[in-house]
Amino acid sequence: MKPSPLRRIPSVNRILQEIHCTDLPRASAREIVRRVLAGFRSRRAVPEWDRLLADIRAALGDVSASRLRPVINGTGILIHTNFGRAPLGPRMIETIAQIACSYSNLEYDLIKGERGRRAAYLEHLLAMLCGAQAATVVNNNAAALVLIVSHYCGDRQAHRSATLFAGRRSAKTEVLVSRGELIQIGGGFRIPEIVESSGAILREVGTTNRTTIEDYRRAASKQTALILKVHRSNFFMEGFVDSPDTAELALLAHQRRIPFVADIGSGAMMGTEAIPGLEHEPTPGEALRAGADLVCFSGDKLMGGPQSGIIAGKARMVSALKREPLFRALRCDKLVLAALQATAESYLRSGSAPAAREMGDAAGEEDPIPLLQMLRASQETLRARAGKVIAQIAGLPLAARVGLGYAKLGGGALPRSRIQSTVLELEHKRYGADILAARLRRHNSCVASYIRHGKVVIDLRTVFPWQDKELVDAIRAAAS
C-alpha cells in the first residue's frame, strides 16, 4: 500500500479484515475501531492507510492490556495488591476446578440428606489453625471489620440497647481505637471511615506516637461497645513511641466487660522470623492466647490463600456475627471457599501451622503454598535459574548480569523487612531503561520489573520457575 492519503475512510469490516489478530471479542474490537474512525472524522482528517492501521492496532492493544490476564511479577514484591496478592497453588486450583464444574454440597448435608451448613468444615479447619473456639469467613478483612464494628456498635445495636434500657442508659455505640492505629491500608481503606460507615462513634485514644493503658482506662465508659486494636501493618514508628500490648489491653477489656477485637492484618500462620530478613508478624493464635476475644485478618496476604477475611475467637461471638443480616451480604462465594479449604488443609497437612505441629502431624511434606515456597527459595536455587536465563538471552543488544536484590513482602505487611534475593540487571545498548521496561510490560507475557541505577531489574524470587522460559522469550522480544 502506498503511503498516500485514503480517498475516504474505509469501513469497520474492511479494517478488521486487515487486522485479523486480536484477542478481543469481535463486538468489542468493532467498537474500538469505530471510536478511532470517529476521531479522524471529527478532525476531518483522512489518514494514510498505514497510519490508520497503526492507530487502530495501538487502540486495540491498549484495551487488550486492560483485560484481566497473567503477569510475570519481577518486582520482588511478594504480596502485591496491584498484582492480585497471593498466587494460588495447584491444590487450590484443583479444588476450585472440581467445585466449579459440578454441583456440590455447599449447603447440603450428605449424611442426613437435607439442607446443611455452609462452610461448616472450613470453619472447623480455620478454628484449628487459629487455636480458636470458632471461626468464620467473609469477603475480605475490610468486610470482617465492617461486620464486627456494625454488630457491636452500629445503629441496630444502638437501637436495641436503647429500647432495652429505655432511657435509663445511653446506647453503647463507641469504639476505642488508638490514635496511632487510625491507619490507611492501600487505596481508600481507612479505619476511621470504616468505623463511621458502620454507624459507630469513633473514640480516639492517646496520641499518634504514644498511647498507654491509662489512656484506654480513661476513655472506656458506659458508651464503650468495643475496643479495637489494629496492627500497623504497612508502616512503622520509631523513637518516642509506646502502646500497650495485647495482653494488657485484654485484661482491661475483660475487667470492664468490653469486647476486645484485634485486627492483625496479614494472618501469618507461621513465625515469619524463621525466614532470614523477616521480622515477627503477629499470628492469630498469639493474639487469641494474649486474650483477644476475636481476631480478624486477610486470607490473601501472608496466609497465601484466596481473597477473604477470616474471623476467629470466642464461639458465642462468632455465632452472633453469623446471625447478623449483614453477614449474608458479605459471605464468600463457593470458589473462594473451595480455595480456602485447600489452603487450610495444606497448612494442617504440612505441619507448618502451630496447630498441626502441636499434634505431631507429618512435618516435612513439601509446602504447597506458593507464597511460602517463594519466601523460602534459597539464593543458590535463584542464582542457578538466573544463570540459565542469562545464557539464553546472549547475542542481544543488551548488557545482562546477575545481581543482588531485596524482595519485600508488600501488601501492607512487614514494611521494614527485606529478603535477600537474586535479580537480573538489564541495560539496553540503544534505548533507556524506561523504554525497555515498557516493552517488557507490553509483551504478551506482561513482565513487570523495576528500575535501579538506570537498569531494568527483574527479581527472580517472585517469578515462578515455570515462567522462566516465558521470561526469556519476553526479554528476547523486548530487546531485539
Ligand X SMILES: *Cc1c(COP(=O)(O)O)cnc(C)c1O
136 binds ligand X per the rule CB under 6 A: no
Contact by Cβ (8 Å): 73, 463: yes
Q: Is the dihedral of CA 162, 164, 168, 173 positive or negative?
A: negative
Q: Dihedral of the CA atoms 303, 304, 308, 313 (nearest 10)?
A: -10
Q: Which stretch binds ligand X (CB under 6 A): 27-35, 137-145, 316-324, 434-442?
A: 137-145
Does residue 410 touch ligand X according to CB under 6 A? no
Looking at beta carbons, which residue is closest to ligand X?
265
b/e sequence 240-272, b meaning 16+ C-beta within 10 Å: eeebbebeebbebbeeeebbbbbbbbbbbbbeb
**Whole-angstrom Cα distance, residue 215 to residue 222?**
16
Q: Which of 74, 87, 291, 412 binds ligand X (CB under 6 A)?
A: 412
Q: 249 or 400: whose CB is closer to ligand X? A: 249
Binding of ligand X by 266 (CB under 6 A): yes
Could you say whether residue 185 binds ligand X (CB under 6 A)?
Answer: yes
Query: Of these, 151, 203, 231, 428, which contacts ligand X (CB under 6 A)?
Result: 231
Does position 142 interact with ligand X (CB under 6 A)? The reply is yes
CB neighbours of 84 closer than 8 A, spacing ≥ 6? none
CB of 303 to ligand X, least distance (A): 10
Query: Which residue reads 470492664 in cell numbers?
Result: 256
Measured from the CB atom, the residue of 405 and 412 that comes closer to ligand X is 412
**Which C-beta is closer to ligand X: that of 244 or that of 309?**
309
Determine the interface stretch with ligand X among 17-25, 117-125, 134-142, 453-461 (rule: CB under 6 A).
Answer: 134-142
By CB under 6 A, is residue 233 in contact with ligand X? Answer: yes
Q: Is 86 in the site for ligand X (CB under 6 A)?
A: no
Q: How far is the CB of 122 from ligand X (least distance, A)?
A: 17
Of the candidate spans 8-16, 263-271, 333-341, 364-372, the one that interacts with ligand X by CB under 6 A turns out to be: 263-271
User: Which of 37, 230, 249, 303 forms a contact with ligand X (CB under 6 A)?
Assistant: 230
* Cβ atoms 119, 137 nearer than 8 A: yes
Q: Identify the residue among 87, 154, 265, 304 touching ligand X (CB under 6 A).
A: 265
Contact residues for 410 (Cβ-Cβ < 8 A; gap 6+): 77, 78, 79, 80, 81
C-alpha closest to that of 87 among 68, 67, 73 = 73
Q: Which of 307, 418, 385, 358 is nearest to 75 (CA)?
A: 418
Q: What is the nearest approach in angstroms of ligand X to the Cβ of residue 115?
A: 30
- Shortest CA distance to 326 belongs to which of 156, 127, 124? 156
Q: Does 309 bind ligand X (CB under 6 A)?
A: yes
| Residue 146 lies near ligand X (rule: CB under 6 A) | no
Nearer to ligand X, 229 or 385 (CB): 229
Binding flag, residue 263, ligand X (CB under 6 A): yes
> Is residue 324 within 8 Å of 148, Cβ to Cβ?
no
- State the minimum distance, in angstroms, from the CB of residue 299 to ligand X: 7
Distance CA 389, CA 370 (A): 21
Residues in contact with ligand X, total (CB under 6 A)? 14
Query: Using the rule CB under 6 A, is 140 a contact of ligand X?
Result: yes
CA distance 224 to 256: 10
Nearer to ligand X, 298 or 343 (CB): 298
- b/e map 105-114, b = 16+ CB within 10 Å: eeeeeeeeee
Question: Which residue in the set 298, 343, 352, 422 belongs to the binding site for ligand X (CB under 6 A)?
Answer: 298
Q: Which stretch binds ligand X (CB under 6 A): 136-144, 196-204, 317-325, 352-360?
A: 136-144
Name the β-bridge partners of 199.
none
Candidates 64-72, 259-267, 329-337, 345-353: pick the segment binding ligand X (CB under 6 A): 259-267
Question: The cell 465508659 sits on which residue?
Answer: 221
Please say whether the beta carbons of 313 and 142 come within 8 A.
no
Binding site for ligand X (CB under 6 A): 140-142, 185, 189, 230-231, 233, 263, 265-266, 298, 309, 412
